[in-house]
């Protein structure tokens, strides 16, 4: 047995670093927090120590390494530092190379660096977190858990684009799918709620947060997903357009003089709920605006939410082509877990698939709640809070145990 099951989980972005110290077996969290706006004058870090309700909040210019040093300081003072047995890192892109968690070595870091060409915003940031943690926690094993790994079971018919084959063969252009740890976690939880082995369960899961993806899961394995070569494909999101006619890009460049960088910014940062509503990428803000006075603001907020729900429903319905049976639909992510409005609107489009919402059940499930929001004669639709950190902790611990035993 590995010494103990307490794992420090690190999710490092280019300007942020989230962390949780948790028991991989029970999911109990001892400390968590976030450092944001790193490497700017407004950098800040928040650390919560669960047991003594201690909260540290600091505003000072610092980088990822200094954020980890602050974390170490806080964990040392709380007597938690010696209890960490390993570090689990979220890494966004594992390409076709990684379908499982892996112990980080120099050659693994090299491969993650090479995969940066597929995820130029994410993998380099994940590597910064890995290197900062290696400097501070020299003795501890570090494990990479890939966001794309769960989707490596997709069949060829799902991951190939109808582009010249050489682009796949020579340049790795294919669908990868993202949010893998989330879809994996909620499908396992859903199987438990239905009292059925996950290997016999088929679900469609909708992770709806600032990023959104829908995944078809057959016998516990991902068989298709709405995000593609990048997280831009699929349903519209907070600021991402989701799938559009690629012809629009030529029109923007050829007729409206957009540079490629401007197109990139437009599709990733200025579209989706924000672009359509002209108001906000935040679902709560739009729901409020939609019910306020009947002016232009409320009309566009309603339009953005209507298109959003319709696209999600269409994506869910399309994945019925990937499955031979369907045990239920799963909603997760900030919107899926909390927005009674979005859940109701999406399900209204899905009556042909025998989804019939129970409005009173729908209304009571939010703020961490979980359960079926459909009528008894309907196919189940389960709301399940995601917990990607727990998956990372669990898989880190499992890998280390396997290495010791084997």
Using the rule CB under 6 A, is 242 a contact of ligand AMP?
no
Output phi, psi for 118, to 5 deg.
-85, -25
The SS3 of residue 362 is helix
> Which residue's CB is nearer to ligand AMP, number 137 or number 185?
185
- Closest residue by beta carbon to ligand AMP: 334
Using the rule CB under 6 A, is 32 a contact of ligand AMP?
no
Choosing from 284, 299, 363, 402, the residue that interacts with ligand AMP (CB under 6 A) is 284
Using the rule CB under 6 A, is 275 a contact of ligand AMP?
no
> Which residue's CB is nearer to ligand AMP, number 54 or number 284?
284
**Do the Cβ atoms of 290 and 302 come closer than 8 Å?**
yes
DSSP lists the bridge partners of residue 18 as 11, 34
Pairing of strands 221-225, 212-218: antiparallel
Total residues at the site for ligand AMP (CB under 6 A)?
Answer: 13
Give the span between the Cα atoms of 390 and 28, in whole angstroms.
Answer: 9
Using the rule CB under 6 A, is 345 a contact of ligand AMP?
no
Using the rule CB under 6 A, is 396 a contact of ligand AMP?
no
Side-chain-side CA neighbours of residue 230 (13 Å): 16
In this structure, the number of other CB atoms found within 10 A of the CB of residue 343 comes to 27
| Piece of the chain touching ligand AMP by CB under 6 A; list 28-36, 101-109, 277-285, 299-307 | 277-285
147 assigned to active site = yes
Using the rule CB under 6 A, is 236 a contact of ligand AMP?
no
**Do the Cβ atoms of 237 and 272 come closer than 8 Å?**
yes
Per the rule left: phi > 0, alpha: psi between -120 and 50, beta: everything else, 216 is beta
The distance from CA 277 to its chain's CA centroid, rounded to whole angstroms, is 23
Q: Which of residues 180-219 bind ligand AMP (CB under 6 A)?
A: 209-210
Using the rule CB under 6 A, is 231 a contact of ligand AMP?
no
DSSP lists the bridge partners of residue 399 as none
| Piece of the chain touching ligand AMP by CB under 6 A; list 66-74, 132-140, 305-313, 334-342 | 334-342
CB 341 to ligand AMP: min, Å:
7
CB 182 to ligand AMP: min, Å:
9
Using the rule CB under 6 A, is 226 a contact of ligand AMP?
no
Choosing from 339, 345, 372, 378, the residue that interacts with ligand AMP (CB under 6 A) is 339
Q: Radius of gyration (Cα) for the chain, nearest Å?
A: 22
Using the rule CB under 6 A, is 282 a contact of ligand AMP?
yes
Using the rule CB under 6 A, is 363 a contact of ligand AMP?
no
Using the rule CB under 6 A, is 283 a contact of ligand AMP?
yes
Per the rule left: phi > 0, alpha: psi between -120 and 50, beta: everything else, 333 is left
Q: Which of 23, 147, 224, 327 is catalytic?
A: 147
| Piece of the chain touching ligand AMP by CB under 6 A; list 4-12, 52-60, 147-155, 328-336 | 328-336
DSSP tag of 357:
B
Give the span between the Cα atoms of 403 and 238, in whole angstroms.
Answer: 41
Choosing from 132, 335, 382, 391, the residue that interacts with ligand AMP (CB under 6 A) is 335
Using the rule CB under 6 A, is 63 a contact of ligand AMP?
no
The distance from CA 244 to its chain's CA centroid, rounded to whole angstroms, is 21
**Do the Cβ atoms of 334 and 210 come closer than 8 Å?**
yes
Give residues in contact with ligand AMP (CB under 6 A). Answer: 209-210, 238, 282-284, 287, 333-335, 338-339, 366
Give the residue numbers annotated as catalytic, written as ranges: 147
């Amino acid at each position: 047995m590995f010494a103990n099951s307490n794992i420090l989980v690190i999710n490092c972005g280019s300007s942020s670093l989230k962390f949780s110290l948790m028991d991989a077996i029970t999911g109990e969290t001892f400390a968590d927090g976030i450092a944001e706006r790193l490497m700017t004058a407004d950098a800040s870090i928040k650390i919560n120590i669960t047991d003594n309700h201690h909260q540290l909040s600091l505003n000072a210019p610092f980088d990822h390494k200094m954020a980890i040093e602050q974390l170490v300081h806080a964990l040392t003072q709380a007597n938690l530092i010696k209890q960490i047995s390993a570090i689990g890192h979220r890494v966004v892109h594992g390409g076709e190379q990684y379908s499982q968690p892996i112990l980080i070595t120099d050659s693994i870091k090299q491969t993650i660096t090479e995969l940066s060409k597929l995820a130029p915003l994410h993998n380099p940031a994940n590597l910064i977190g890995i290197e900062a943690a290696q400097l501070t926690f020299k003795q501890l094993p570090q494990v990479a858990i890939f966001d794309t790994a769960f989707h490596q079971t997709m069949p060829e018919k799902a991951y190939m684009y109808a582009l010249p084959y050489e682009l796949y063969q020579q340049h790795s252009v294919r669908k990868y799918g993202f949010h893998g740890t989330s879809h994996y976690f909620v499908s396992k939880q859903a199987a438990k709620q239905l009292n059925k082995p996950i290997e016999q369960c088929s679900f469609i899961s909708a992770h709806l947060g600032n990023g959104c993806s829908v995944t078809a899961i057959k016998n516990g394995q991902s068989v298709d997903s709405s995000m593609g070569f990048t997280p831009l494909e699929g349903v519209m999101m907070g600021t991402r357009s989701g799938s559009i006619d690629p012809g629009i890009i030529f029109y923007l460049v050829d007729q409206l003089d957009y540079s490629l960088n401007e197109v990139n910014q437009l599709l990733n940062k200025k579209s989706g709920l924000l672009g359509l509503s002209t108001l906000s990428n935040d679902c709560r803000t739009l729901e409020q605006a939609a019910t306020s006075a009947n002016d232009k603001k409320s009309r566009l907020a309603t339009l953005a939410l209507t298109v959003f729900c319709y696209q999600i429903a269409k994506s869910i319905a399309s994945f019925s082509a990937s499955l031979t049976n369907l045990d239920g639909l799963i909603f997760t992510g900030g919107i899926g877990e909390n927005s009674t409005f979005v859940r109701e609107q999406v399900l209204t489009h899905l009556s042909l698939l025998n989804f019939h919402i129970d409005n009173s059940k729908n209304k009571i499930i939010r703020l961490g709640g979980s359960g079926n929001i459909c009528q008894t004669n309907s196919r189940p639709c389960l709301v399940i809070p995601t917990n990607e950190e727990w998956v990372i902790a669990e898989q880190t611990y499992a890998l280390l145990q396997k290495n010791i035993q084997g």
